[in-house]
Amino acid sequence: MNTEPLIICENLVKIYHLSQENGGSVEVQALQGMDITVAEGEMLGIVGASGSGKSTLLNVLGGLDRPTGGRALVGNQDLGQLSPTALDQYRRKTVGFVWQQATRNLIPYLTALENIELPLTLSGQVGKSTRQRARELLDLVDLRERRDHRLDELSGGEQQRVAIAIALANSPKLLLADEPTGELDTVTAQTIYDLLRHLNKQLGLTIVIVSHDPGIARHVDRVVAVRDGKLASETLRVQKADSEENHLVELAVVDAAGRLQIPREYLEQFNIHHRVQVELTGNGILIRPPEREHHSHDHASASSPGEQEPAALDSIEVPSSLLRVWQSLKSRLKPSSKNHNGDEQ
Ligand code: ADP
């Protein structure tokens, strides 16, 4: 894998405007400042809850949607700045798409070979070279044996192979796959992941796969988790120091402004709402609930081990200037602070 980046997203923002029945509109911030870099030849998985912005990111990278703010660079093309014609060229020449529903762009009564020939012909390729190219593509996805079968005679996995062959027809640099195994059983899904890995290695193809499958880390070089339109964490394959073996390590992501997303379950466990205390320790940075805020939100809960009691009021050092102001106020208030009975209030 090359270490040169193919994709660079910087502070990428995508806002949709949803029309309301009353004639107004509401904003949906699908991407809220996403920073992500993908190396050329890398196979990347993107995971995250539904609505977290995965498909939006894929649509922006595929040139199907324009960013509202920030930058999305693929190769040396700034997708937000391309003219409509240049964006159209980008879609035709640089990217290939694979969708969850393999049949989305396929015709059931055509054979596997004809289904691949059709978009080649539509894109302007004619004659013998079209058939030859279609055959090459079928070989690439290991479907030569089934080339004369109609689409509706193929299994779900085979149909997805035809869809992948079509996505490769324009020899893209980047393949974007949205839940490519979402409708397949586990065994078939494994064969599709194997095929994608094979294409990644053989063609040096950069592949970005959006998935709900938490097990995707086994099939790709790196997994990034998206939360609320931002990158939250990355799972990397790290080689053990004393062997050839790899193991997976999940790391929180620090963005360009130094912000990091803390897993929601950690925040809930320590009853953290808006603020945390950040302390330097000998070997890192400790993040913990602020003592006063934590107690004020959580009167009923027992203190965790090691948790400190809030500082006693009488131990708080009051600046001498404040004391002087207080003394003078007290002396001025004294005469009026007696009631009619002469009792001090
Ligand atoms: P995911 O792929 O992680 O499920 P999406 O990228 O599809 O998330 O959606 C992110 C957010 O943007 C969601 O709140 C979704 O409702 C909204 N959204 C996505 N596409 C559109 C659109 N075309 N118009 C309006 N809102 C959209």
Q: Are 153 and 114 in contact (CB under 8 A)?
A: no
Question: Considering the domain boundaries, does residue 286 fall inside one?
Answer: yes
Q: Which of 20, 50, 56 to mutate to test the pocket of ligand 1 (most atoms within 8 A of CB)?
A: 56
Question: Considering the domain boundaries, does residue 241 fall inside one?
Answer: no
The set of residues, in sequence order, having a beta carbon less than 8 Å from that of 67 and lying 6+ positions away, is: 12, 13, 14, 31, 60, 79, 80
Question: Considering the domain boundaries, does residue 71 fall inside one?
Answer: no
Domain of 290, in residue numbers: 264-297
Q: Does 246 score more than 80 pLDDT? A: no
Which residue's alpha carbon is nearest to atom 24 within ligand 1?
A: 16
Q: Is the CB of 46 under 6 A from ligand 1?
A: no
- DSSP letter at 273 equals -
Hey, what long-range contacts does 246-255 have (CB within 8 A, 24 or more apart)?
248/217, 253/35, 253/224, 255/33, 255/35, 255/230, 255/231
Q: Is the CB of 180 under 6 A from ligand 1?
A: no
Distance CA 158, CA 154 (A): 6
Question: Considering the domain boundaries, does residue 178 fall inside one?
Answer: no
Question: Considering the domain boundaries, does residue 333 fall inside one?
Answer: no
**The overall pTM is greater than 0.75:** yes
Question: Considering the domain boundaries, does residue 292 fall inside one?
Answer: yes
Question: Considering the domain boundaries, does residue 277 fall inside one?
Answer: yes
Looking at the 3D structure of the chain, how many domains does it have?
1
Q: Report the side by side order of strands in the sheet with 5-19.
A: 25-39, 5-19, 69-74, 77-78
Which residue's alpha carbon is nearest to atom 12 within ligand 1?
A: 30
Q: Each residue of 182-225: pLDDT tens digit? A: 889 999 999 999 999 999 999 999 999 999 887 899 999 999 99
Q: Give the per-residue pLDDT at 128.
A: 62
For residue 21, what are its two tokens?
A: 């029945």
Work out which ligand 1 atom sits closest to the CA atom of 226: 3
Which backbone phi and psi does 336 adopt, to 5 degrees?
-85, -5
Question: Considering the domain boundaries, does residue 271 fall inside one?
Answer: yes
Q: Is the CB of 18 under 6 A from ligand 1?
A: yes
Q: Is the CB of 55 under 6 A from ligand 1?
A: yes
Distance CA 128, CA 76 (A): 34
Q: Each residue of 309-329: pLDDT tens digit? A: 433 433 345 555 555 666 666
Q: Give the per-residue pLDDT at 313.
A: 37
Distance 105 CA to ligand 1 centre (A): 22
The pLDDT mean for the chain works out to 84
Q: Does 114 score more than 50 pLDDT? A: yes
Distance CA 6, CA 77 (A): 10
Q: Give the per-residue pLDDT at 76.
A: 87
Work out which ligand 1 atom sits closest to the CA atom of 31: 10
Distance CA 260, CA 267 (A): 13
Distance 56 CA to ligand 1 centre (A): 6
Q: Is the CB of 28 under 6 A from ligand 1?
A: yes
Comparing 48 with 256, the larger pLDDT belongs to 48
Q: Are 74 and 10 in contact (CB under 8 A)?
A: no
The set of residues, in sequence order, having a beta carbon less than 8 Å from that of 147 and lying 6+ positions away, is: 111, 112, 113, 135, 138
What is the residue-wise DSSP string for 296-322? HH-SSSPPPTTPPPPPPGGGSPPPHHH
235 CB neighbour count, 10 Å cutoff: 19
Q: Is the CB of 30 under 6 A from ligand 1?
A: yes
